[in-house]
């Protein structure tokens, strides 16, 4: 099978020739440490690490607009041109940025989440000024980067599935105003929240139409991070009032455009969230963070037809071979039910020795070889 056929078969609960061997990437600090443990210096990004360890290309690496370190961005997402970001102060370990982005304190030496003290949007007036503007003209041809033709050439030559990144309907307003402010706005100014959602759904539609003029799209990954360790950040009523209508509209639109499968990304304990996702027609969920209680066996029992990706506890790779073996021994019952790609439940962190990661890959490869039928 081609990588595209293999991946899309799994998303449809059909039998592939084999299960892809993939993970979710690597923190920069991890790669830097692995350079001291035998990883060649020229291997410096997620995509290069995937190649070095002979992994399948990750499904997030195949997104045309992913903004992480997973390779080039093909068609720029969110605002264009980007909001201004100016250095206003600096210490030995941090840099504070101001400007249109708000006020952000970033660590100089780690990939840790920056501290956002002020957000890009603080009022409906500022929203109308900054967001409902030419910066969010999704059809602006300037969004297409010089790297995009090369990305398409590779996808065609290697017969890869092609995906699309979409900010979800919690993720996007949170990006604009912050989660605490958003929690108040649900009660204090619901019209403002709906205005942000309506702008976003129209941006998604225009962006998808423009992208489809350049390439086919097989699947979409919706970023949410809607949960923390004890459950969802919002109530079912808040989801139903402020997110469900837009999810239904978006998924119907994506299907009409030929985008077959919709996956939603959320860290944290997402067991309850999966109920809401299934209700609006989402096809799959990842990364199933074990430490927070998003156990794949629990979600599979709850939703037999929801595709699951992830669910391997990254913390166990800090330990020894015995702990890694024990973690991987839980995979066969899940693999037998189909619709499952086992992967670490987040990026590989710096506490994982490269030798442990290599052992994990060897063991997982042997397990996956037992599943799938050569057609």
Instruction: Quick: pLDDT tens for 92-127.
Output: 999 999 999 899 999 887 777 889 889 999 999 999
181 pLDDT more than 70: yes
Cβ neighbours of residue 89 under 8 Å, at least 6 residues apart? 95, 96
pLDDT at 36: 97
Confidence of residue 374 (pLDDT cuts 50, 70, 90): very low
Convert the pLDDT of each residue in 229-274 to its tens digit.
999 999 999 999 999 999 999 999 999 999 999 999 999 999 999 9
Structure tokens that stand for 21 in this block: 């061997």
- For the chain, how are helix, strand and coil distributed in percent, rounded to 5? 45, 15, 40
Confidence of residue 154 (pLDDT cuts 50, 70, 90): very high
Q: Give the whole-angstrom CA distance, residue 285 versus residue 5.
A: 19
Residue with the two structure tokens 């009032």? 241
For residue 81, is the peptide bond before it cis, meaning its omega torsion is within 30 degrees of 0? yes
173 pLDDT more than 90: yes
Structure tokens that stand for 151 in this block: 């990305």
CA atoms within 13 A on the CB side of 349: 11
pLDDT at 113: 80
Q: Give the whole-angstrom CA distance, residue 145 versus residue 64.
A: 10
The pTM assigned to this predicted structure is: 0.94
Angle at CA of residue 224, ends 219 and 228, nearest 5°: 135
Given a contact cutoff of 8 angstroms between Cβ atoms, the answer to whether 220 and 254 are in contact is: yes
Q: Give the whole-angstrom CA distance, residue 203 versus residue 201.
A: 5
CATH topology of domain 3-79+134-368: TIM Barrel (3.20.20)
- Average pLDDT over the chain reads 94
Counts for the chain of helices (H) and strands (E), in that order: 15, 12
Percent of the chain with pLDDT over 70: 98
Convert the pLDDT of each residue in 156-169 to its tens digit.
999 999 999 999 99
Determine the average pLDDT of the residues in 199-215.
97
Among the residues of the chain, which ranges form H helices? 3-11, 28-35, 46-52, 124-130, 148-158, 171-177, 179-188, 190-212, 236-242, 244-256, 271-280, 296-302, 321-328, 331-336, 354-368
Please state whether 357 falls in left (phi above 0), alpha (psi between -120 and 50) or beta. Answer: alpha
Q: 340 by DSSP, 3-state: which?
A: strand
Given a contact cutoff of 8 angstroms between Cβ atoms, the answer to whether 185 and 192 are in contact is: yes
Q: 238 by DSSP, 3-state: which?
A: helix
pLDDT at 70: 56
Per-domain boundaries in the chain? 3-79+134-368
Bridge partner list, 166:
222
Convert the pLDDT of each residue in 30-57 to its tens digit.
999 999 999 999 999 898 999 999 999 9
Q: Give the whole-angstrom CA distance, residue 374 versus residue 27.
A: 35
Q: What is the 3-state secondary structure (H, E, C) of 140-163?
A: CHHHECCCHHHHHHHHHHHCCCCE
Given a contact cutoff of 8 angstroms between Cβ atoms, the answer to whether 12 and 305 are in contact is: no
Q: Give the whole-angstrom CA distance, residue 23 versus residue 159.
A: 20
């Amino acid at each position: 099978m081609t990588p595209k056929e293999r991946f899309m078969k799994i998303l449809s609960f059909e039998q592939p020739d084999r299960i892809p061997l993939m993970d979710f990437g690597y923190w920069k600090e991890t790669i830097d440490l692995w350079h001291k443990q035998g990883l060649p210096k020229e291997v410096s990004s997620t995509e290069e690490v995937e190649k070095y360890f002979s992994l399948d290309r990750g499904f997030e690496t195949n997104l045309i607009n992913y903004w992480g370190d997973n390779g080039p961005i093909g068609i720029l997402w969110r605002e264009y041109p980007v909001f201004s970001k100016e250095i206003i102060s600096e210490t030995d370990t941090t840099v504070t940025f101001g400007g249109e982005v708000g006020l952000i304190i970033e660590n100089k030496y780690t990939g840790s989440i920056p501290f956002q003290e002020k957000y890009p949007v603080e009022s409906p007036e500022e929203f109308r000024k900054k967001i409902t503007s030419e910066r969010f003209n999704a059809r602006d041809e300037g969004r297409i980067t010089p790297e995009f033709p090369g990305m398409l050439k590779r996808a065609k030559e290697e017969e890869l599935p092609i995906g699309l990144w979409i900010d979800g309907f919690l993720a996007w307003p949170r990006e604009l105003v912050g989660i605490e402010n958003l929690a108040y706005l649900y009660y204090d100014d619901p019209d403002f929240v709906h205005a942000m959602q309506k702008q976003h759904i129209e941006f998604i539609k225009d962006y998808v139409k423009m992208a489809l003029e350049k390439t086919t799209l097989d699947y979409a990954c919706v970023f949410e991070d809607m949960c923390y360790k004890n459950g969802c950040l919002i109530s079912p009523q808040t989801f139903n009032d402020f997110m469900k209508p837009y999810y239904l509209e978006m998924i119907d639109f994506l299907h009409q455009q030929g985008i077959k499968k919709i996956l939603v990304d959320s860290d944290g304990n997402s067991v309850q969230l999966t109920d809401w996702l299934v209700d609006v027609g989402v096809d799959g969920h990842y990364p199933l963070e074990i430490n927070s209680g998003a156990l794949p066996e629990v979600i599979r029992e709850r939703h037999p037809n929801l595709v699951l990706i992830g669910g391997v506890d990254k913390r166990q790779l800090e330990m020894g071979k015995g702990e890694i073996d024990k973690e991987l021994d839980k995979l066969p019952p899940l693999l037998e039910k189909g619709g499952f790609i086992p992967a670490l439940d987040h990026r590989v962190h710096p506490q994982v020795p490269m030798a442990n990661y290599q052992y994990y890959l060897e063991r997982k490869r042997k397990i996956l070889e037992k599943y799938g039928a050569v057609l």
